Amino acid sequence: MNFKKAPIVYLQGKPVLLFDKQANLLEALEDKEIDIFSECRNGFCGSCKTKVISGTVEYTNEPLAVLEEDECLPCCCSPSSDLDLDLTSDIDTNVLGEYIKK
């Protein structure tokens, strides 16, 4: 039998969640109270665009927003490997190391 390991999602190298049965990456991050600005939540507007440091994502439907090679749209993708995201421009950590929105 061949089991596929659930991808781990990191933020700037810190593990924050195991992507298992969540609908998409945006919902998985929001479940952990990590806010990412979003509007259409459907791959059209590009407002949730996020930089990928390492790892890969897969889209259920090809997004219409234009992306650089190192960017993803969390609202309509899932990690297909362990994934490290760079949210440094949108969030910070408090003294307890919890992620907070700036």
3-state secondary structure of 17: strand
Q: Give CA–CA dist 35/68, Å, rounded.
A: 22
Q: In what order do the strands lie in the sheet with 8-11?
A: 14-18, 8-11, 83-86, 50-54, 71-72
Site membership for ligand FES, residue 71 (CB under 6 A): no
Q: How far is the CB of 72 from ligand FES (least distance, A)?
A: 10
Determine if 44 is a binding residue for ligand FES (CB under 6 A): yes
> Nearer Cβ to ligand FES, position 1 or 66?
66
Applying CB under 6 A, what is the total number of residues that bind ligand FES? 13
DSSP code, position 39: S
Among 11, 25, 48, 87, binds ligand FES (CB under 6 A): 48
Tell me: does residue 67 bind ligand FES (CB under 6 A): no
